């Protein structure tokens, strides 16, 4: 049975040009939740025809980003040469490791139409011995059955992105995220992440 909710985190809003991002983590009450050091909730926002999201190239090191869309589309491009459109239900997992540069923009073919943009991006701390790892990129298409309704959705994401067979949550999180399960698996702690609307 899940324990009580320890705290409710209030996001800080930032306007990144045509889109409001609500950053839940880090917060004064919780610098991180398990391996999740940043948690950004984008939108929902209606982008008029001809207008898009334009997050210009920027660097990351020592972490991984996970992007999931509920509505809209983004084009991921990075310094490794990957170019991948992400649509609702897809998951992009970018491991920065020793360093990567990437951009996220509304795809050119989607700009002429009005669209609603809504999604999340989490930043996952890599285990210390992997912070300087080779950068990488993985894309998981929407037909793989990922559901982000609760903390178990995060674990299923890790299973799918790393090609693991289903196993106990504690072992999977410890093995894949490089953190002690007690810090991740308390649903009360993850409920803060799953409760965004």
Q: Which residue has the tokens 């011995």?
A: 129
Residue 31 predicted with pLDDT over 50: yes
52 closest CA partner among 12, 112, 95, 142: 112
pLDDT > 70 fraction of the chain, expressed in percent and rounded: 71
Bridge partner list, 45: 117
Task: Map residue 93 onto helix, strand or coil.
Answer: strand
Most confident of 43-47, 140-144, 157-161: 43-47
Question: Domains in the chain, start-ordered, CATH in brackets?
Answer: 23-194 (2.60.120.10)
pTM for this structure? 0.71
pLDDT at 84: 95
Strand-strand pairing, 115-125 and 36-47? antiparallel
pLDDT at 143: 58
- If phi over 0 gives left and psi between -120 and 50 gives alpha, with beta otherwise, what is residue 5? beta
Token pair recorded at residue 89: 């239900």
Q: What is the pLDDT of residues 59-115, one digit of tens each?
A: 999 999 999 999 999 999 999 999 999 999 888 899 999 999 999 999 999 999 999
| Minimum mean pLDDT range among 15-19, 31-35, 154-158 | 154-158
| Minimum mean pLDDT range among 9-23, 76-90, 119-133, 181-195 | 181-195
Token pair recorded at residue 92: 């992009």
Are the beta carbons of 15 and 45 closer than 8 angstroms?
A: no
* Residue, of 195 and 158, whose pLDDT is higher: 158
Q: Which residue has the tokens 């991921």?
A: 76
> How big is the CA angle at 131 (ends 151 and 119), to the nearest 5 degrees?
40
pLDDT at 20: 86
């Amino acid at each position: 049975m899940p324990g009580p909710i320890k705290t409710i985190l209030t996001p800080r809003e930032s306007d990144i040009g045509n889109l409001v991002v609500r950053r839940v983590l880090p917060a004064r009450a919780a610098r991180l939740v398990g391996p999740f050091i940043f948690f950004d909730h984008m939108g929902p926002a209606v982008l008029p025809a001809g207008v898009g999201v334009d997050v210009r190239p920027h660097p990351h090191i020592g972490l991984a980003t996970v992007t999931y869309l509920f509505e809209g589309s983004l084009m991921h491009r990075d310094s490794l040469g990957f170019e991948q459109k992400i649509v609702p239900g897809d998951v992009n997992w970018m491991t920065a490791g020793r360093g990567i540069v990437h951009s996220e923009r509304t795809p050119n073919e989607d700009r002429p139409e009005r669209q609603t943009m809504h999604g999340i991006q989490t930043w996952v701390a890599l285990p210390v011995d992997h912070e300087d790892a080779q950068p990488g990129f993985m894309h998981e298409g929407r037909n793989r059955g990922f559901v982000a309704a609760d903390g178990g959705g995060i674990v299923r994401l890790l299973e799918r992105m790393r090609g693991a067979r289903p196993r106990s949550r504690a072992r999977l999180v410890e093995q894949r995220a490089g953190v002690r399960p007690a810090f991740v698996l308390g649903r009360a702690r993850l409920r803060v992440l799953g409760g965004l609307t």
